[in-house]
Structure 1
């Protein structure tokens, strides 16, 4: 069975933006689209019926609106709807289990300062191993098509296994027929903080070594996707900050997050956290 694209909708402008982006992605992948709405209402006979009826009516309206819109825009895409009950983050994470991609909307305050990712979106991202794309509401009119065509940007950590991240990024660039930019940020070893003097040649040599490692990591994927135009850049500094700047004009930014647990549960790393909160382009988060 082909992996479908799942989109969480809630009747908001963010949900509509996510549904439209998800429908375009399903058309590119040539897979079905599933629109889901999570009702945070306990399925318990003791709960008053009128409240449940209002919640169900709101869910029906949100799903019908999104369904009508994406069918009009992408009549070739097979679309189904589903209403879920339970905590939205948990319900969406379970629903994403058999999907190839989960798409969610995220609020932006109206300027180029990026996402205001809510607790539901953040909790869902860390609760699933399925790739999650977060889509910001565009400043363009609702009828406008996709504007940016700046290719795909992927953040690469040369010190971690990045196969899932690179596979996703290269496949997206290949199906969209666009360029791919790989970005890596590095820092000087901690010992340099205690050195009595600093030799600039050391920094340049470390930079060259990092570039070689990045090039070696990308080489198998260049060979697998020879049609994808790839550039790569390694710099000394914050990877999150550089990715946020590179996101301007990009079609999609791809970042990885380590699938790890803390005493407080799963969490995002610093780079993914910075990009999710500040990038202006859609962001795909890949667990690895």
Structure 2
């Protein structure tokens, strides 16, 4: 079964940027795109649509979906795009959509309110519980932002792609995260920047130079060994290993600078729904201005 790239819409600038990013990613992966607008206030097919209080938000929902569909069809005529309004709360609707998606793309800090889809808490809940990769895209993200500037000229679709960056914990490596990152870099013909944050355990007290050097050397060796089979699987991807001392959130926010895409892992949650993504991921979603991909793993 061919899995589509799915984009959630709510009419906000963030969600429109997410839909455009999703369209480009669908083309890169040779997959169809599915646009979804979810709102539990949509009327049933039994005549409720005639209620005056439902007409305005219903028309708004239709305009959001139709406007995005027309825009993306004009920009990407080679892409197959389907669109659907879903009568369901946005969070559960998107989690259901993610089950059959190659990846789900949503806006980072979309609007709430009538006809709104992705408030911050809804987006984080979707990220925390989706069983497929979820991409968060900020408002204003354009095709040029994925590319490097060419000397004094501005970046454009004609210049090479920016690096793909991926966060790696050598103590808890994850094949799903690395496979996504390597594949994304391969699709873009972009370098892959592998980032690992290391620090001296508090139990060590204040370490001397030799102890700090030993810890860093061990981290370098572990990272090189971890990446060896992936370099072999993706021989065309140029990989750089980046180790930085410090806490993961601070290191990754800095390391994402200049990248076109940041890939991070997230352990699957089996508990009740809620917007809990962990402190590192939460910091990245709020402070990284490029698209961030959250890849679930066991």
TM, length-normalised to structure 1: 0.88
- Confirm or deny: 8 A CA contact 1:117 1:277 kept in the other structure: no
Secondary structure at 1:153 match in 2: strand
Question: 1:77–1:139: structure 2 CA closer, same or farther, 3 Å change rule?
Answer: closer
Higher mean displacement: 255-264 or 128-137:
255-264
Q: 1:53 aligns with which of 37, 49, 55?
A: 55
Q: How does 1:190-205 map to 2 (within 5 A)?
A: 190-193=202-205, 198-205=207-214
CA distance, structure 1, for counterparts of residue 241 and residue 174 of structure 2: 15
In the other structure, the counterpart of 1:81 is 83
- Point out where structure 1 has 5 or more consecutive residues left out of the alignment: 109-115
Is the contact between residue 163 and residue 193 of structure 2 (CA under 8 Å) also seen in structure 1? yes
Q: Is the Cα–Cα contact under 8 Å of residues 97 and 128 in structure 1 kept in the other structure?
A: yes
Partner Cα separation in structure 2 for residue 166 and residue 231 of structure 1: 13
How big is the shift at 1:147?
4.5
Q: Which residue of 2 aligns with 1:4?
A: 4
1:67 lines up with 2:69 in the alignment: yes
**Among 223, 245, 251, which residue is 2:260 paired with?**
251
Q: Structure 2: state its 5+ residue gaps.
A: 111-117, 149-160
Partners in 2 of 1:79 and 1:129 — Cα distance? 23
Q: Give the stretch that moved more between structures: 265-274 or 149-158.
A: 265-274
The aligned residue for residue 150 of structure 1 is 162
Partner residue in 2 for 1:13:
13
What are the Cα deviations for residues 167-197 of structure 1, in whole angstroms up to 9, with x where unaligned? 100000001110000101122123212xxx6
* Structure 1 equivalent of residue 201 of structure 2: 189
Query: Do 1:13 and 1:137's aligned partners in 2 also have CA atoms closer than 8 Å?
Result: yes
How many angstroms does 1:279 deviate by? 0.2
Shift of 1:84: 1.1
Query: How much is the aligned-residue C-alpha RMSD, in angstroms?
Result: 2.4
SS of structure 2 residue aligned to 1:99? coil
Q: After superposition, where does 1:1-288 map in structure 2 within 5 Å?
A: 1-41=1-41, 49-107=51-109, 118-138=120-140, 146-148=146-148, 149-193=161-205, 198-261=207-270, 265=274, 267-288=276-297
The 2-side partners of 1:30 and 1:262 are apart by 35
- Deviating more after overlay: 265-274 vs 32-41: 265-274
For residues 55 and 236 of structure 1, the distance between their equivalents in structure 2, rounded to whole angstroms, comes to 51
Segment of structure 1 superposing worse, 96-105 or 55-64: 55-64
What is the aligned length?
276
Compute the TM-score of the two structures, normalised by the length of structure 2. 0.85
Superposition misfits of 4+ residues, deviation over 2 angstroms: 42-56, 143-150, 260-267
Change over 3 Å in CA distance of 1:223–1:4 after alignment to 2: same
CA contact (8 A) 2:165 2:259 kept: yes
Q: 1:94 to 1:46 in 2, by over 3 A?
A: same
What is the alpha-carbon distance in structure 1 between the residues aligned to residue 281 and residue 20 of structure 2? Answer: 24
Task: Return the offset for 1:52.
Answer: 2.9
